[in-house]
Amino acid sequence: MIGIISAMQEEMQTLIDNLKEPLTIVKGMRTYYKGNLFNTDVVLVFSRWGKVASATTVTQLINDYKIDHIIFTGVAGAIVEDLNIGDIVIGKNLYQHDLDASPLYNKFEVPLLHKTYFETSSTHSNLLFQASQTFINSYTDWIDIDKAKSFQISVPSSRLSDIASGDQFISEQQDIIKLTGELPTVSCVEMEGAAVAQVCFEYNIPFSIIRIISDKANDNAHIDFPKFAKEIASQYALGILKNYFN
């Protein structure tokens, strides 16, 4: 069974709408939707924003269901110039950019685990990357072109790359410069992925992450996030996962 998590209801509403024979359970102010998606048994849940909320959600998910693989899907902000709105990042390594337990530990190192990042499952991530490329090749089957243009999406691309998570919005250029200097392999930032990856590591559950770029994570980021999540990101998730499951 596959667990699929998003931070916002809008990011996964399309998945919920396509779920067959759904059964819902409410725990800890979260609704877990169990059912079948593209002939695959899944549990869907939106975690709310931030590392604590997402870690709590995935822990409950793992303990309540026989989960074989966790996929997180949602939006992220780009911190490299060649990544644009509408592009897809399939995560490789997940860092907590706001973690600093020095001088007892090196910056970014998780205490006691002796890890500065958490690896995604290479097998699943490579398959998701292939699924994302297939999605892009049939982009107009999933995304209304006028809606894409309204969010300044032209020709989307997909890549495998590192991702950084933290309980803050990165919007100042000086913060981006600092972050890219300390973590040069990271291409985008968000608020949940590395926390979910840590929980999956501790429970020995394969983890993958799909991030759709919603903004450039700078002073010019004025996007309507709920609208982008509902009209663009949720459709991306549906299309990519259909390719992945099939």
Tokens found for residue 176: 């981006």
The CA distance from 218 to 241, in Å, is: 29
State residue 28 phi and psi, 5-degree precision: 55, 40
Query: In this structure, are residues 211 and 80 in contact, taking their beta carbons and an 8 Å threshold?
Result: no
CA atoms of 29 and 239, how far apart (whole Å): 28
Indicate which residue of 11, 87, 109, 190 is catalytic. 11
Annotation marks residue 11 as catalytic: yes
Q: Which of 170, 171, 186 is nearest to 220 (CA)?
A: 171
Which among 109, 162, 215, 231 is annotated as catalytic? Answer: 215
Q: Which residue has the tokens 């700078």?
A: 218
User: Would you call 134 helix, strand, or coil by DSSP?
Assistant: helix
Query: Is 146 a catalytic site residue?
Result: no
Q: Known catalytic residues?
A: 11, 215
